[in-house]
């Protein structure tokens, strides 16, 4: 039976005959879909990237502040610490019963725009990211006791450094710092494999090295000491390293790994109630969750804007179809005269709307794939955010389905009018 005329084919031809306006309508829908998918993609990727920056750490400890703030500056290196943690407190909790490992972190310095992280070799042994991945070295090794540095993958690439190069740490943040001391360069000992997190962009040095930078930073305003003096500093640093049990004065924060998860909450409370120094201990995942709920408002606002843009695009399509309705009354009368039912006239217009919306949505997905494909690598270099799913997936399928369904629903309006018209007009052609 070929009475089941492919109305969709008729709709396609009809759209093809009005290519220019159809193309514009499709573009409006496509751009709005691109907006929605782009926002969605950035949000997913940012979350994924943030969530994978730290793993396996039971407690993050810093000075008294909000958990989100501590997480932001200590882990994601966004913002600056307001206070420090005394070495005594670090030692107190690093050696507390039940603590398996600890990583001290000292932030606040930079090397040519890259954050310098003062830590110990425990960082390379215990730090985890992603789904519990360890840090790997692509070249060289972790720093020992000497004045050595380890570079994150992105830092090494962007700074064009290799193992054996000498670098000079500046005091303070920013790409250029007036407080530089080039008398005590540190040697690049190793380069980390890429992790796709902010860790890639950092320069890691030992706490002792950092202390020495700090000690010599202020005197560097004074006339530069003699070469011998440099060597003196070197030995001082090594003795400082040896005396690390006495420890540097302060660190920014520290990470704790416990022997058993069961102890996390108790230790967290102990730290938060520590009388000798106001401290904050947070469970990273909990702080992340808080962060999402803060950011979620802005994300939802963006998504709402995107949804409104889609609606605007679809309303534009509706206007375009309604505008042609009068001039198409003849077409409807012809269809009726060859046996089309009013229902099929309705179907014709609804499928035109659905086709336009669906094609627009598909075009939007294609645009998004192209745009994000082109931008993925610059975005990763700039922000460390790895775009997770450049290729269309189920989220895109859902968006296409929803937009098409919305197009069909909106198309019912002109279709209903055409249906009424064709019932009233019959085969009478109104010119």
Partner 1 sequence: MMHDATQNGPPPVLAATRLRFGWQPSAPLLDIPALAIAPGEKVLVRGASGSGKSTLLNLFAGILTPVTGTVSLLGTDLSALRGAERDRFRAEHLGIIFQLFNLLPYLPVLDNVLLPCRFSARRLARARASDGSEEAAAHRLLAELGLPDAAPASAAQLSIGQQQRVAAARALIGNPEIVIADEPTSALDEDSRAAFLALLQEECERVNATLIMVSHERSLEPLFDRVIPMRELTGGTP
Angle at 412 between CA 407 and CA 417, to 5 degrees: 140
The region of 70-78, 166-174, 342-350, 358-366 touching partner 1 under the rule CB under 8 A is 342-350
Q: Is 3 in the site for partner 1 (CB under 8 A)?
A: yes
Smallest separation, CB 17 to partner 1 (Å): 3
C-alpha distance from residue 373 to each of 38, 68, 107, 252, 389 (Å):
11, 32, 34, 38, 10
**Which residue's entry shows tokens 């969605």?**
40
Smallest separation, CB 423 to partner 1 (Å): 8
Nearer to partner 1, 271 or 320 (CB): 320
Beta partners for 103?
255
On whether the CB atoms of residues 195 and 151 are closer than 8 A, the answer is no
Burial of 103 (0-12, 13-18, 19+ CB in 10 A): buried
Smallest separation, CB 27 to partner 1 (Å): 21
DSSP structural state of residue 379 = H
Nearer to partner 1, 250 or 331 (CB): 331
Smallest separation, CB 298 to partner 1 (Å): 46
The region of 266-274, 338-346, 376-384, 385-393 touching partner 1 under the rule CB under 8 A is 338-346
Q: Is 260 in the site for partner 1 (CB under 8 A)?
A: no
On whether the CB atoms of residues 310 and 33 are closer than 8 A, the answer is yes
Smallest separation, CB 9 to partner 1 (Å): 9
Residues 100-119 that bind partner 1 (CB under 8 A): none
On whether the CB atoms of residues 63 and 400 are closer than 8 A, the answer is no
Report residue 88: phi and psi, to 5°: -60, -45
Residue of 41, 241, 331, 396 that binds partner 1 (CB under 8 A): 331
Q: How many residues bind partner 1 (CB under 8 A)?
A: 28
C-alpha 175/C-alpha 155 separation (Å) is 13
Smallest separation, CB 336 to partner 1 (Å): 7
Residue of 335, 365, 367, 372 that binds partner 1 (CB under 8 A): 335
The region of 10-18, 86-94, 311-319, 381-389 touching partner 1 under the rule CB under 8 A is 10-18
Q: Is 327 in the site for partner 1 (CB under 8 A)?
A: no
Q: Is 336 in the site for partner 1 (CB under 8 A)?
A: yes
**Which residue's entry shows tokens 């998918």?**
37
C-alpha 236/C-alpha 180 separation (Å) is 19
C-alpha 195/C-alpha 129 separation (Å) is 8
Beta partners for 168?
none
Angle at which helix 394-425 crosses helix 19-53, to 10 degrees, equals 150
Nearer to partner 1, 304 or 334 (CB): 334
Residue of 208, 333, 363, 415 that binds partner 1 (CB under 8 A): 333
Closest C-alpha among 15, 36, 52, 23 to residue 402: 36
Q: DSSP strand E in 35-185: where?
A: 59-63, 85-86, 99-111, 114-119, 128-129, 133-134, 137-140, 148-151, 166-167
Q: Is 157 in the site for partner 1 (CB under 8 A)?
A: no
141: helix, strand or coil: coil
Residue of 337, 374, 393, 397 that binds partner 1 (CB under 8 A): 337
Burial of 80 (0-12, 13-18, 19+ CB in 10 A): exposed
Q: Is 382 in the site for partner 1 (CB under 8 A)?
A: no
Residue of 63, 342, 411, 414 that binds partner 1 (CB under 8 A): 342
Q: Is 339 in the site for partner 1 (CB under 8 A)?
A: yes
Smallest separation, CB 344 to partner 1 (Å): 8
Q: Is 341 in the site for partner 1 (CB under 8 A)?
A: yes
The region of 65-73, 239-247, 299-307, 335-343 touching partner 1 under the rule CB under 8 A is 335-343
The region of 12-20, 213-221, 259-267, 396-404 touching partner 1 under the rule CB under 8 A is 12-20
Q: Is 274 in the site for partner 1 (CB under 8 A)?
A: no
Report residue 152: phi and psi, to 5°: -70, 160
The region of 42-50, 59-67, 189-197, 328-336 touching partner 1 under the rule CB under 8 A is 328-336
Residue of 26, 54, 340, 361 that binds partner 1 (CB under 8 A): 340
C-alpha 261/C-alpha 347 separation (Å) is 61
Q: Report the interface residues with partner 1, using CB under 8 A.
A: 1-3, 5, 10, 13-14, 16-17, 330-331, 333-344, 426-429, 431
């Amino acid at each position: 039976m070929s009475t089941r005329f492919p109305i969709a084919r008729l709709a396609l031809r009809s759209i093809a005959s009005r290519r220019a306006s159809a193309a514009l309508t499709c573009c409006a829908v496509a751009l709005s879909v691109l907006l929605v998918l782009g926002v969605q993609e950035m949000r997913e990727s940012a979350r994924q990237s943030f969530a994978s920056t730290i793993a396996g750490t039971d407690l993050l400890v810093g000075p008294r502040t909000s958990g989100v703030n501590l997480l932001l500056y200590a882990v994601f290196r966004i913002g600056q610490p307001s206070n420090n943690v005394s070495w005594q407190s670090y030692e107190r909790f690093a050696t507390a019963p039940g603590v398996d490992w600890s990583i001290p972190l000292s932030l606040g310095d930079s090397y040519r725009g890259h954050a310098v992280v003062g830590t110990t070799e425990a960082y390379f042994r215990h730090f985890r990211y992603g789904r519990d991945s360890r840090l790997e070295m692509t070249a060289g090794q972790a720093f020992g006791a000497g004045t050595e540095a380890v570079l994150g993958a992105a830092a090494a690439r962007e700074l064009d450094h290799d193992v054996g190069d000498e670098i000079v740490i500046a005091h303070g943040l920013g790409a250029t710092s007036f407080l530089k001391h080039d008398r005590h360069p540190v040697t690049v000992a190793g380069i980390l494999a890429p992790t796709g997190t902010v860790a890639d962009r950092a320069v890691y040095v030992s706490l002792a090295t950092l202390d020495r930078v700090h000690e010599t930073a202020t005197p560097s305003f004074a006339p530069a000491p003699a070469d011998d003096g440099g060597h003196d500093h070197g030995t001082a640093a090594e003795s400082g390293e040896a005396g690390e049990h006495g420890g540097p004065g302060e660190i920014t924060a520290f990470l704790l790994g416990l022997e058993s998860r069961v102890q996390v909450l108790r230790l967290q409370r102990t730290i938060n109630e520590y009388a000798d120094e106001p401290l904050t201990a947070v469970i990273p995942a909990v702080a992340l969750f808080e962060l999402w709920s803060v950011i979620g408002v802005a994300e939802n606002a963006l998504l709402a804007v995107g949804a409104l843009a889609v609606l605007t695009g679809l309303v534009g399509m509706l206007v375009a179809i309604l505008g042609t309705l009068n001039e198409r009354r003849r077409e409807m009368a012809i269809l009726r005269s060859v046996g089309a039912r009013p229902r099929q006239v309705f179907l014709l217009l609804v499928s035109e709307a659905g086709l336009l919306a669906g094609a627009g949505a598909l075009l939007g997905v294609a645009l998004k794939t192209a745009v994000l494909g082109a931008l993925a690598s610059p975005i990763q270099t700039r922000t460390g955010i790895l775009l997770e799913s450049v290729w269309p997936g189920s989220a895109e399928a859902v968006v296409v389905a929803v937009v098409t369904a919305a197009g069909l629903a909106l198309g019912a309006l002109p279709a209903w009018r055409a249906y009424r018209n064709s019932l009233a007009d019959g085969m009478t052609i109104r010119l």
